[in-house]
Amino acid sequence: MKTRGWRADICRLILATLIALVLPGAAAMAIEGDAARGAQLYAGSRAMTNGGSPCVACHALTGFGSAGAANYGPDLSNLYADYGAEGVGAVLESLAFPSMEAIYASRPLTSEERLDLVAFFAQTAEQQAAPATSLTGSILLGVVIVFAIVALLGLRRLKGVRRPLVDRVRKQRGMRA
């Protein structure tokens, strides 16, 4: 495409160099995919050729924030580190997981898409950022904060007048409450 000119080429070159430095074994595979296109496929801004769902629908990944952190599938932040380039490519091709099989068996990823995604995962593995915060966690935290505020407000609540009055008088006179 025209929009990807020399700039993208330089990016690819730098990326490839970086990957080659850290993961010499993966460099050969990664260099063939386009990480930027992979990112678009992952996020769903570019449709899969055969109509498969974008990865973001089910997975969380560092850099996508809590809004992009779905939790149907596992967090993919450490995917590349765990599986390596071949592993990721193989999983995307063979659809080893039943839930992914149901989605992609009839709408398989093309080999180009798989390579792009592998390149993208390779790129994110480089970033080594903090793992994505889960949406559930954020909601729970929010609920706890709201409840804490309500509880604080509730401290001023009128907790009864007669009972404390009677108890106080009885205590003053040394009677059993």
Partner 1 sequence: MDIRAQVSSVFHLDKCIGCHTCSIACKNLWTDRRGNEYMWWNNVETKPGTGYPTKWEDQEKYRGGWERAGSQLRLKQGGKASTFGKIFHNPDLPTMDDYYEPFTFKYADLTNAPAGTDQPTARPVSMVSGKPMKIEAGPNWDDDLSGSTVYAANDPGVIELSKEQQQQLFAIEKMVMFHLPRICNHCSNAACVASCPSGAIYKRGEDGIVLINQDKCRGWRMCVSACPYKKTYYGWATGKSEKCILCYPRQEAGEAPACFHSCVGRIRYLGVLLYDADRIEATALKADAELTAAQREMILDPFDPGVIKAAREGGLADQIIEAAQASPVYKFVKQWGIALPLHPEFRTLPMLFYVPPLLPVLSSKNQGTQKIGDDFFTSLEQARLPLKYLAGLFAGGNEEEVKAVYRRLIAVRMQRRAESVGDLSEAELLNARELSGLSREALDAIFRMTSLTRIKERIQVPPMLREQAIEAGMETDEYQQGMGFGSRKAPKRRW
Residues interacting with partner 1, by CB under 8 A? 150, 153-154, 156-163, 165-166, 169
Taking the complex as a whole, how short is the minimal distance between the CB of residue 104 and partner 1, in angstroms?
47
Provide the total of helices (H) and of strands (E) in the chain, helices listed first: 8, 0
For partner 1, the closer CB: 102 or 145: 145
Taking the complex as a whole, how short is the minimal distance between the CB of residue 139 and partner 1, in angstroms?
20
Question: What CA–CA distance (Å, rounded) separates 86 from 83?
Answer: 7
Taking the complex as a whole, how short is the minimal distance between the CB of residue 158 and partner 1, in angstroms?
5
Question: What CA–CA distance (Å, rounded) separates 127 from 75?
Answer: 15
For partner 1, the closer CB: 63 or 154: 154
Q: How far lies 23's CA from each of 17, 27, 120, 143, 169, in Å?
A: 10, 6, 14, 42, 78
Q: What angle, rounded to 10 degrees, do the helices at 35-43 and 111-127 form?
A: 100
Taking the complex as a whole, how short is the minimal distance between the CB of residue 156 and partner 1, in angstroms?
5
Contacting residues for 70 by C-beta, under 8 A, at least 6 apart? 56, 57, 58, 59, 60, 135
For partner 1, the closer CB: 137 or 154: 154
For partner 1, the closer CB: 93 or 167: 167
